[in-house]
Amino acid sequence: MILGAGAAGLSAGIYTSRGKLDTLILSEGVTGGQMVLTNEIANYPGVEMIKGYELADIMKRQAKSFGCTLKTNVKIVKYRLTEEIKEVELEDGRVFRSRAVILAPGGKPRSLNIPGEKEFEGRGISYCATCDADFFRDKRLIVVGGGNSALEEAVTLTHFASQVTIVHQFDHFQAFAHAVEEAERNPKISFVMESELRAYLGNGTLQKVQVEQLKTGELTYLETDGVFVFIGYIPNTEAFEGLVKTNERGEFVVDQEMKTSLPGVFAAGDCVAKRYRQVTTAVSDGTIAALSAIEYIRTKRV
């Protein structure tokens, strides 16, 4: 069983099913994970440019062609992973069993947790440029963040918006040089550095944000039609708390073979403790976890 259908889960499914293991992928979301939320992927080896959802669809078809079974949008209510035969129970009462499990639940966007967030989520606040950019044609937008996602998505948003302002808490960006250069060259993008959002404000829909300049403490207001937040992801590991070892950030602790603290349980993708999170690193994790699971099962059979 593979729990999660993002880049890591699908890659693992391709390898385990091609390795002649009966493979089931269960996902509480849609196929593709964070790939689906990425407008364009230009740094995947061997592919010059591809939409995130297109790459996800190719991976899905590959996995199914080797005999992998996918069940998405399911609700998992119980995990029994400590015994030799692992069990997963769904909300509808179905129980699936396997000798090995690969955990690939991915992560979810990190929010700012400031006043007005719940009120304006979906009414001006978004975490996905691919999903919502078209709603903001010729509008003024704010992008929060300073990593690759923030800068790349800010550039994507300029194809729709009239103006994009990037608000970042530091005086420098954490993104790769090419992403920074592309954003700085774009005439529609401006920058508010060493600043943080303190509140979302509006009447029914988002109209402005309160911004604090961190060096001086000065509070100002920026009028805007929408805010896109790209400040990282939180691993979806809450369901495994106390069951599988995690670090202080809630990420699964794994070794070089993607083994977790439980025998026969492996983990891959954005949910594991590591420095870099890219589609390519998730694919690598899924491959290693799959090969390790194959070896584990074959050893058990012997």
Both 239 and 220 in one domain: the answer is no
Mean pLDDT for the stretch of residues 202-212:
96
Both 103 and 142 in one domain: the answer is no
Amino acid at 199: A
DSSP 157-213: HTTT-SEEEEE-SSSS--S-HHHHHHHHH-TTEEEE-SEEEEEEEEESEEEEEEEEE
Domain final residue pick, 229, 246, 276: 229
Mean pLDDT for the stretch of residues 22-27:
97
Both 152 and 14 in one domain: the answer is no
- Measured distance CA(139)–CA(129) in Å, rounded: 14
| Contact yes or no for 270/107 (Cβ under 8 A) | yes
Higher pLDDT, 26 or 35: 26
Both 115 and 225 in one domain: the answer is yes
Both 118 and 172 in one domain: the answer is yes
Task: Give me the sign of the Cα torsion angle 129, 133, 138, 141.
Answer: negative
What are the Cα distances from residue 118, in Å, to 41, 139, 205, 228? 30, 22, 12, 14
- Measured distance CA(161)–CA(154) in Å, rounded: 10
User: Each residue of 150-166: b (16+ CB within 10 Å) or e?
Assistant: bbbbbbbbbebbebbbb
Q: Whose CA is closest to 199, among 109, 113, 111? A: 113
Both 183 and 50 in one domain: the answer is no
Both 257 and 123 in one domain: the answer is no
Domain that holds residue 143: 111-229
Q: How confident is the model at residue 277 (pLDDT cuts 50, 70, 90)?
A: confident
Cα 207 to the chain's mean position, in Å? 28
Q: Residue 59's pLDDT is what? A: 97
Residue 113 has pLDDT above 80, yes or no: yes
Q: Each residue of 128-181: pLDDT tens digit? A: 887 788 899 999 999 999 999 899 999 999 999 999 999 999 999 999 999 999
Q: List Cβ neighbours of 67 (8 Å cut-off, separation of 6 or more).
A: 17, 22, 23
Higher pLDDT, 194 or 33: 194
Both 94 and 189 in one domain: the answer is no
- Measured distance CA(157)–CA(70) in Å, rounded: 33
- Domains: count for the chain: 2
Both 205 and 120 in one domain: the answer is yes
Q: Each residue of 49-98: pLDDT tens digit? A: 898 899 999 999 999 999 999 999 999 999 999 999 999 999 999 999 99
Both 225 and 276 in one domain: the answer is no
Both 99 and 243 in one domain: the answer is yes
Domain final residue pick, 207, 229, 251: 229
Cβ burial, residue 65 (10 Å; 0-12/13-18/19+): exposed
Q: Residue 129's pLDDT is what? A: 85
In the DSSP assignment, the letter for residue 30 is: -
Q: Residue 42's pLDDT is what? A: 79
Point out which residues pair with 197 in neighbouring strands: 211
Highest mean pLDDT among 22-36, 104-118, 211-225: 211-225
Residue 15 has pLDDT above 90, yes or no: yes
Both 221 and 273 in one domain: the answer is no
pTM of the model: 0.77
Q: Can you give the CATH number for the domain in which 131 is found?
A: 3.50.50.60
The CA dihedral of 155, 160, 166, 172, to the nearest 10 degrees, is 0
**3-state SS of the chain: helix, strand, coil percent to 5?**
30, 30, 40
Domain final residue pick, 195, 229, 263: 229
Higher pLDDT, 57 or 109: 57
Q: How confident is the model at residue 233 (pLDDT cuts 50, 70, 90)?
A: confident
| Contact yes or no for 29/37 (Cβ under 8 A) | no
